[in-house]
A and B are shown apart, each in its own frame.
Chain A
Amino acid sequence: MTAETQPAGLVADHLTCERGGRTLFAELCFAVAPGGALLLTGPNGSGKTSLMRVLSGLLPPRAGRVLWQGKDTAEEPAPWRRALAWLGHDNAIKPQLSVSENLAFWARLTPAARGVDEALEEVGIGHLADLPAAMLSAGQRRRLALARLGLTRGGCWLMDEPTVTLDTASLARLSAMIARHRADGGLAVIASHDALDLPGAQSLDLSGFAVAP
């Protein structure tokens, strides 16, 4: 495949990832178009988090490329970083700051397309805006982290286990949020064990790419 024939959106081009001398997956390829979604599944230790970190650029792959809008993200990280919204295992919340202060900081760092209040309302914690983040429950902290993604319009959401500690109502809200994001022309790559309502999403089972030791 050459750059000219690459579709818009996110493309993984023959990715191979090695951690601690062990090859987690090899020759992994996929493409997600704008408006699309990809659900990553696989047993614990199959490399879902490593794949997410490779896609984000935090972890260099041993071989292969990650392309955003047809451009290699390792060579041209700037457009990718502007489009990328990352949700890792940790929520990156400072307990000393209030809920809205936490979100307002990220709104100043990223080109935020939506207001802080709007993003907090979307995840259902708008009434907690002035509370210190230290007072939040685990589920509310996860929702505050999700609100950070809600600041963006379009682009690519990389979500590693977004449903951890969320209750059923929040799960429905998350599905709606992802649907809204996709309707805006954004795309999402989601690693999750939970059943999320993702109409028309591709799915990828990482155990199929495992390399026999």
Chain B
Amino acid sequence: MNAFLATIARDLRLATRRGGEAALTLGFFVVAITLFPFGVGPGPELLGRIAAGIIWVTALLAATVSFDRLFRADMEDGTLELLALQPLPLELVVLAKAIAHWLMTGLAVTLLAPLMGLMLNLPGDAYLPLIAGLLIGTPSLSLLGGVGAALVLGARRGGALIGLLVLPLFLPALIFGVSAVEAVLIGMPLAPHLLILAALLAVALPVGAFGGAAALRLALE
């Protein structure tokens, strides 16, 4: 447990020292959302109707731009091979790195989402399902994205590849995240959508840990 927490703490500390890393993801999130009122026109009614979709899609894209750095720096300076030889199983190392990634992207995006909702004229009832959905849905993104990041470690220009690889995997989270908001707006219960997002997370946990570790071992051979 100590080693697991140490790995999370190290990634968070490195990210804050490098500065800008988490800020880069959030900056992308905010700037990309800001583009939409210009693109579709500033009509408050139209914006309010598509606000939840905009926020979710942009959250997926913001998470995707940060995946390339998840393992690459550790691979290049020899940290990864050393981590693979520690008593702590590589699966838990992958999990720890996914948690650190989520704290810096998924959680941060969730906290910023109400502000973005305000800008996009999101209906008042939609805030709770949007935030609850992001909170439960975004950890899956960090886990599945970790597998993608580990798979493209051997490839040059892996950054663009990751997007192609993982964005389709994010589709279920996107569908149920947005439909949670829709459901509340038309007076349907919220719980089923959140439960499906939780079920997706329950699948993403083992897939992320075992899949990510297996891909890393291949990359290290």
Contact = CB atoms under 8 A, between A and B. Distances in A.
A4 interface: no
A58 B3 contact: no
A111 interface: yes
A91 B78 contact: yes
Interface string A33-72: 0000000000000000000000011111000000000000
Nearest to B88: A109
A58 B14 contact: no
Interface stretch (A82-90, A114-122, A163-171, A172-180): A82-90
Contacts of A3: none
A109 B78 contact: no
Given A89-B78, A96-B18, A108-B3, A84 B85 contact: yes
A109 B18 contact: no
Contacts, number: 60
Given A84-B85, A109-B88, A90 B78 contact: yes
A91 B221 contact: no
Contacts of A106: 82
Nearest to B86: A109
Contacts of A101: 13
A97 interface: yes
B85 A81 contact: yes
Interface in A103-132: 105-106, 108-111
Contacts of A59: 221
A101 B9 CA distance: 12
Nearest to A110: B86
Q: Tell me what chain A mostly uses at the interface: helix, strand, loop, or mixed.
A: loop
A136 to B, nearest CB: 13
Contacts of A183: none
A11 B88 CA distance: 24
A130 to B, nearest CB: 15
Contacts of A94: 14, 77, 79
A29 to B, nearest CB: 23
A105 B220 contact: no
Contacts of A56: 85
Given A59-B221, A109-B3, A109-B7, A91 B85 contact: no
Given A91-B77, A94-B77, A86 B2 contact: no
Contact of A86 (B7, B76, B82, B87): B82
A78 B87 contact: yes
A211 interface: no
B5 to A, nearest CB: 8
Interface in B92-142: none
Contacts of B49: none
Interface of A: 56-60, 78, 81-82, 84, 86, 88-94, 96-97, 101, 105-106, 108-111
Interface of B: 2-3, 6-7, 10, 13-14, 17-18, 76-79, 81-88, 220-221
Please give me the 6 A-B residue pairs with the lowest Cβ-Cβ distance, nearest first.
A90-B78, A96-B17, A108-B6, A92-B78, A92-B79, A109-B3
12 contacts: A58-B221, A81-B85, A82-B87, A86-B85, A89-B78, A90-B78, A92-B82, A106-B82, A109-B3, A110-B86, A110-B87, A111-B87
